[in-house]
Structure 1
Amino acid sequence: MKNTIYILISFLIITLSNTSILAQNNSDEELANQYFYNKEFDKAVIYYEKLFNKSHNQTHYLKLLDCFVALEEYKNAEKLIKNQQRKHPYELNYNVDLAYLYNVSGKPNDAKQLSEKTIKQLSPNQQQVISLAQAFQFRKENDYAIQTYLQGRKLLKDMFPFNFELAQLYSNSGKTEQMLNEYLDILVVQESYIQSVQNALQTNLSDDDKGTKKDLLKTLLLKYIQTHPDRKVFSEMLIWVYIQEENYLGAFTQAKALDKRFKEYGDRLMALGHLSAENKDYETAIKCYQYVISKGLDSYYYVSAKMELVNVYTKKITSTNNFTATDLAELERSYQSSINELGKSVSTTPLLRGYANFQSFYLHQPENAISLLNEVLVMPGISAHEIAQTKIELADVYLFVGEIWEASLLYSQVEKAYKYDQLGETAKFKNAKISFYTGDFAWSKAQLDALKASTSKLIANDAMQLSLLITDNIGIDTNEAPLLLFAKADLLSYQNKNEEAVKLLDTLKNEFSYHSINDDVLFKRFQINYKQQQFDAALENLNEIITNYPTDLLGDDALYNAALIYDKNKNDQTKAAELYKSLLFDYKDSVYGVDARKRYRELKGDINIIKIENDILEFEAN
C-alpha cells in the first residue's frame, strides 16, 4: 500500500513538473515572438537563445540568427552557424546561412566563394539538391538555386531534371525564355504532364498584357514542332496558346494541320468549332465544321458536323439582327438540304428542333413548327431527354401562337420529370414567366426566387431580374395595374405582335408617368425596336434610360446595349468604344464589365488602353 502511494505521489510530482516546464516554454515562446515582431531584437534574442539551447530546433535557430543579424552581432551569428555545421556536417544549408551572413556583414567575395564551393560539394542525392536549392531560395539567392538544380541534374544524369523547379526560378528571375524551355522540355520526356504544364504557364503568363511572353512561347513551340515532328503534344500546346489568346482562327490552322498529319477523325476540330461558336467567332466555327464535312460521308463526325454547321449559320445570321429576307431564305435552304440528306431520325433531332424554332420565330410558320416537333416526339427510339427538350421547344411555339395553357402543361411535365436537372429548371422558369404574363405575380415570384440558386448562371440571372421587376414595381404601392399592362405587352412582344405591344407600352407610359416601371417600359421598347431592325429608335429609348435612369437596375444594360448597336449594327466603332469606356468607369461592378473591357481592347489596341486602365485604377482607388 505504501509503495502504491509513493508511486502515485512521484507520478504527480513528475507530471506537475513537466506541465510547469511546458507552460514556461510556451510563455517564453510567446514573449520571444512578440518581441521579435515588434522588432525589439535585444529582448527577443534572450528568449530565443534560451529556447534554442533547450530545443535545438530549426525554427528557434533561424529566429536567433535573425536577431543576431538585426543587432549586428555578427560574431555571435557566425559562432551559432559554425556550431550547427559541426553538429550537422552533411547539411549544406548551413553553408548558405554562413554565405548570407558574409553578405550582410560586408564580405560579398567570401559569400560568393562559399556559395560556389558548396554547390561543388553536392553529391548525386535528389533530396540534398532540393534542400540546398531551397536554402538558397530562402535567402533570395535565386541564381545559386538555379546553379544548384543544374548541378544536380548533371550529377543525377537527368534522372531527376528538376524542370518544374527551374522553370519557377527562371520565372522569378525574369528569364522568360529559359522558363519556357524548361516547361517544354518536360513534355519531351513525359507528354502526360501537358495539363500540369498548361496550369503552370497560365499562372506565369497571367501578367503578359502586351503578349510578348506568349509570342515567345509560340516561336519556341514552332521550333519544338520542327525538331519533334512525330509528337502531337507541341502542336496541341500551340493550339492551347491560341485559344488562351482567343485567336480561334490560329487554333484552327494548327488543329487542321495536326488532323491531317496524324490522319485523325476530326474530333479536335469539332471541339474547336463548338468553342469558337460559344465565343461568337462564327466564321472560324464554320471553317471547323466545313473541314470535318470535307473528310467525306464515311467520317465519324460527318452527320454531327452537318448539323452543327447549320446551327452556326443560324447563330451567325440571327445574332446581330442584321439579317435580310435573302439571308433567311438561304438559311431555310440549308436546313432543308441538310434534312433531305441526313433524313428524319433520332440522330438528327437537334437539326429538326433547330429548324422548327427557325420556322416559328423567324419565318413565322408556327403551324409547320408544331407539326415537325410532334413528328419528333413519336420517333422510334427517341430518348426521354430528347423528348423533354422537344416538349420545351413545342411549348415555346404554343406560347407564341397563344396556346398558353397547352404550353404551361408541357413545361410542367418537363419540370416534374427533370426536377433536379437544368432541363427542369428551364421549364420551371418558363412556367414562372407564364404566371407573370397572366398576372399571377405572387406565384411567379415564388418560383423565380427558388430558381436564384440554379446551377445555370443564365437561368439564375434571368430569374433574379424578373423577380426584381415584380418586387420593384409592386413594392409598397400594391397597385398591380402598371405591371399587368407591362406583362401583357411583354407577351405580345414574344408573340411578335409588336404594334399591339407598343400601343400598350405607350398607354402605360402616358397613364403612369410617375411609376418606377418607366425604365422597364423604355427597355422593352428598345427590344421591340431592335427586333424590328429600327436601330435609331432603339438607341433613343436606351439613351433616355442612360440620361434619366442611370442609377436604376437597367442603367448598365442600356449603356452596354447602346455600345453593341453602334459596334455591330451602326458600324460606328469610335462611338462604341466611347460607350464601352463609360461602362467601365460608371459601372465598375457591372456583369458586362469583362466583355466591355475585352471589346474596348480590340477596338483601341493594347497601347491606347494603358491610359484608360490607369485612369480606372486611379478612379477606383479614390
Structure 2
Amino acid sequence: MHSENPVGPAYEKLIEAYLILADTGKVFKLARKQSKIYGQSKPAYYADYWHFSRTLGRRGPDFSVLENLTRSNPFSVRASAQQLVKYNYIEEAIGLYQIAEAAQPNVRTAFERGQLHAQLGQYNAQYEAYLLAVQQNGGYLNSIKVRIANNLSDDPKDIHNTAVKKVLYDAIKNSSDPLVEQLLLFVLRQEGSFDRAFTFMRSRFDGSASIQPFLQVLREAREANADDVAEEIGNFLLTQKTALSQQRGTNSVLLELGKCHEKTNNRAAIFKLSDEYPIGACSACFEWERFRATFLFENSTAIGDSLQQLFSYESTLEQLRERYPRKFQRGLTHLSQGEANLRFGYFDDALMEFARAEALLEDSDQGDIARLKKATCAFYGGDIPWAKTQLEVLLQSTSKSIANDALENALMISANSVEDTLMEGLGLIRIPMLLEAQGKTTKAIANYKALKNTLIVHELYDDVCFKLGKLYVESAQWKMALAEFALVQQAAGEGMWKEDAIFYIAKCRFELKETEAQSALEDYLLNYPAGLYFDQARTMYRTLAL
C-alpha cells in the first residue's frame, strides 16, 4: 500500500507498525527515505526524520532545515507543526508558526499557536495570539470567547483574568478597535467587574452610540446582585435624553431600573420614578407603564382596607388598553387584572380575566402562563377536579418560561388529586396556597404550620413541608428552612421533591456557612448534572472554593 501511494496514510500506518514491532532500524530508514524524496514539497516528513534521528541517536537533519522549508513554503506549517506536537515538541511547533506568520501573514495560524502557548502556560502570548486570530478572521470570535470564558474565574486577579486584560488594554492603548473593545467588555462582564465595564463604556460613549451594551451590563449586574452598579448605569442612561429618544430606549431603561429598585426593596426610588415618568410621559413605554401601575397597586397603603385601589388599577389598565391596542399588549393587561382580582379573592372575575388573556396571548409563553393561572385560580376557588384536568393538559406542553413556583403548584395539584383522601388534603392546602399567592406570607406560614399536624400521616405532608420551607427561604430564615427541607427529604423518598430537597438543604447550609455545605453541594452537583438548580449550585460551590 505504501509503495502504491507513498504520501498517503499508508506511510503513517507503516511507521506505527514498525514502532509496535520495535524495529527502530526500519523506522529510521523509512523516515529518512520519505523526507529525502518528498520532504521538499511536504516538510512534515522532515519533522519525522528529525525526531527519530534525535530519539534513536542517529545522524540526521538539523532543525534549521525544517525552519528554512517553512520560510520557503509557509502554508505547509500546519502539517509540520502537527507532527511536532504529536511528538511533544511544543516550543518548536510554536517557533515554526511564528516563522510562517512572519513570512506570510495570510497563513493565519495564530489560533493554533495560541492553543500551544496555553499548553506551556504562556498566557500572555496565548491571548495575544487569540487576539491576532480574531482580528484576521472574525469567524474565530465565538470560539475564542468560549475558551476565554472557560479560563476566567470570579477573581479579577486570577492569572488568566490578569493576562487577558493586560493584552486587551495594551491593544486598546495602541489603537482603537471595536472588536478589541467588545472582547474587553466580554471579559469584564464574565469576571463580574461590572463597575469597570461601565466605566470603560462611559468613557467611550459619544451620546449617539447604541445603548444596548449598557442595558446588557445593567441586566447582568442586577442578576449578579451588583445592584449599586446596575442603578448607576440606569441613572446614567436616563440622562442621555437624545440617545433614548432616537433609539426608543426609555421603556427598557425605566423597566430595568424599576426591577433593580424592586429587587433591593427601594420603594422610594420607584415612587420617584413613577412621579417623573407617569402614563403618557413617553411614547412606546408599555412595559414600564404596566410595571409602574402594578407596583403602585401592590404598594398602596390603602390596599388592605378598601377596593378603591383595585378600581383605580383596573382604570389604569383600561387606559393602557386604549393607548396600546395590540392584541399581545391587551392580553398582558388582562393577565395583570386577573392577578389583582385573585389578590382580593374574586375568583370568578379573575377567571374571566385570565380567559381573556389566554385568548389574546394565544400560543405564546405568556399564553401558557394565563392558562396556568386560570387553572390554579379554579383550584383556589375550590373546583379541584376541573383544575386537575386543565393542569394535566397544560403540563404536557407547557412553556419553559413559566416560573418554577407556578409549575411546582401545578405538579402538586395534578399528582395528588387522584383519590378522595388526597382531594380532601388538597382542599385544606389550597387555603395557605391562596394566602401565599395573595402575598400574605405571615398568614400563609401560620396555616402551613397548622396543617403539618393535621396532615402528618397524609401523602401531602411532604408538600406542606416543602412549601413552608420555600417561604422560610424567601424570608431568609435559613435554620427554619433547613429543618423543613430535612423533613421533605425524609418524607419524599424517591418522590417529586427529592431533587429540590437536596438542593435547598445545600443552599441553607451554604447561607448558614456550615462546614457541611461543601459536601451537600457536591452531593447535588454529582447526582444532578443536568438538574434544575445546577447553575446555582455550581456558583455557590465556586464561591466556597475562593
Q: Which residue in the other structure is 2:344 paired with?
A: 401
Distance 1:445 1:539, change over 3 A: farther
Moved more, 57-66 or 554-563: 554-563
2:188 aligned with 1:250: no
Distance 1:510 1:78, change over 3 A: closer
The equivalences for 1:278-357 within 5 A come to: 278-296=223-241, 299-300=244-245, 301-302=249-250, 304-317=252-265, 327-328=266-267, 330-331=268-269, 333-340=271-278, 343=280, 347-357=284-294
2:131 aligned with 1:222: no
Taking the aligned partners of 1:548 and 1:312, their CA distance within structure 2 comes to 33
Greater gyration radius: 1
**Does structure 1 conserve the Cα–Cα contact (< 8 Å) formed by 2:485 and 2:505?**
no
Q: Give 1:61 deviation, angstroms.
A: 2.1
Taking the aligned partners of 2:320 and 2:67, their CA distance within structure 1 comes to 74
Pick one of 68, 83, 87 that aligns with 1:139: 87
RMSD over aligned Cα, in angstroms? 3.6
2:178 aligned with 1:232: yes
The equivalences for 1:600-619 within 5 A come to: 601-602=542-543, 604=544, 606=546
Q: Give 1:180 deviation, angstroms.
A: 1.0
Pick one of 30, 48, 68 that aligns with 1:97: 48
Distance 1:137 1:507, change over 3 A: closer
**Does structure 1 conserve the Cα–Cα contact (< 8 Å) formed by 2:380 and 2:430?**
yes
2:535 aligned with 1:594: yes
Task: Spell out, residue by residue over 1:21-66, the C-alpha distance to the aligned partner (whole angstroms, 9 max, x if none).
Answer: xxxxxxxxxxxxxxxxxxxxxxxxxxxxxx4455656333212211
Q: Give 1:551 deviation, angstroms.
A: 6.3
What amino acid maps onto 1:426 in structure 2? Answer: I
2:510 aligned with 1:546: no
Taking the aligned partners of 1:83 and 1:374, their CA distance within structure 2 comes to 88
Q: Which residue in the other structure is 2:306 paired with?
A: none
Taking the aligned partners of 2:299 and 2:466, their CA distance within structure 1 comes to 22
Runs ≥4 residues deviating over 6 A: 206-210, 562-567
Pick one of 77, 81, 99 that aligns with 1:129: 77
Distance 1:491 1:354, change over 3 A: same
Q: Give 1:539 deviation, angstroms.
A: 4.3
Distance 1:63 1:496, change over 3 A: closer
For the residue of structure 2 that corresponds to 1:591, the secondary structure is coil
Pick one of 68, 73, 79 that aligns with 2:29: 79
Task: Spell out, residue by residue over 1:434-478, the C-alpha distance to the aligned partner (whole angstroms, 9 max, x if none).
Answer: 233244545544544555566853427456533442355446675
- What's the % identity of the aligned pairs? 22
What amino acid maps onto 1:402 in structure 2? Answer: G
2:14 aligned with 1:69: no
Pick one of 425, 438, 445 that aligns with 2:368: 425
The equivalences for 1:507-526 within 5 A come to: 508-526=451-469
Task: Spell out, residue by residue over 1:3-37, the C-alpha distance to the aligned partner (whole angstroms, 9 max, x if none).
Answer: xxxxxxxxxxxxxxxxxxxxxxxxxxxxxxxxxxx
Taking the aligned partners of 1:308 and 1:388, their CA distance within structure 2 comes to 22
Taking the aligned partners of 1:496 and 1:205, their CA distance within structure 2 comes to 41
Taking the aligned partners of 2:281 and 2:177, their CA distance within structure 1 comes to 41
Taking the aligned partners of 2:24 and 2:523, their CA distance within structure 1 comes to 57
Q: Give 1:270 deviation, angstroms.
A: 2.2
What amino acid maps onto 1:143 in structure 2? Answer: E
Taking the aligned partners of 1:594 and 1:221, their CA distance within structure 2 comes to 29
Distance 1:176 1:208, change over 3 A: farther
Q: Give 1:527 deviation, angstroms.
A: 5.3
The equivalences for 1:331-480 within 5 A come to: 331=269, 333-340=271-278, 343=280, 347-363=284-300, 364=303, 365-379=309-323, 381-441=324-384, 443-452=386-395, 456-459=399-402, 461-462=404-405, 464-470=407-413, 473-474=416-417, 478-480=421-423
**Does structure 2 conserve the Cα–Cα contact (< 8 Å) formed by 1:356 and 1:368?**
no
Distance 1:564 1:95, change over 3 A: closer
**Does structure 2 conserve the Cα–Cα contact (< 8 Å) formed by 1:346 and 1:382?**
no
Q: Which residue in the other structure is 1:172 paired with?
A: 119
Q: Give 1:181 deviation, angstroms.
A: 1.0
Unaligned runs of 5+ in 2: 304-308
Moved more, 234-243 or 465-474: 465-474
Q: Which residue in the other structure is 1:494 paired with?
A: 437
Give the number of aligned pairs: 528
**Does structure 2 conserve the Cα–Cα contact (< 8 Å) formed by 1:448 and 1:463?**
no
Taking the aligned partners of 2:28 and 2:498, their CA distance within structure 1 comes to 67
Q: Give 1:396 deviation, angstroms.
A: 0.9
For the residue of structure 2 that corresponds to 1:178, the secondary structure is helix
Q: Give 1:514 deviation, angstroms.
A: 0.7
**Does structure 2 conserve the Cα–Cα contact (< 8 Å) formed by 1:426 and 1:459?**
yes
Distance 1:123 1:247, change over 3 A: closer
Give TM-score scaled by structure 1 length.
Answer: 0.74
The equivalences for 1:568-587 within 5 A come to: 575-576=512-513, 578=515, 580-581=517-518, 583-587=520-524
Q: Give 1:274 deviation, angstroms.
A: 2.4
Q: Which residue in the other structure is 2:106 paired with?
A: 159
Give TM-score scaled by structure 2 length.
Answer: 0.83
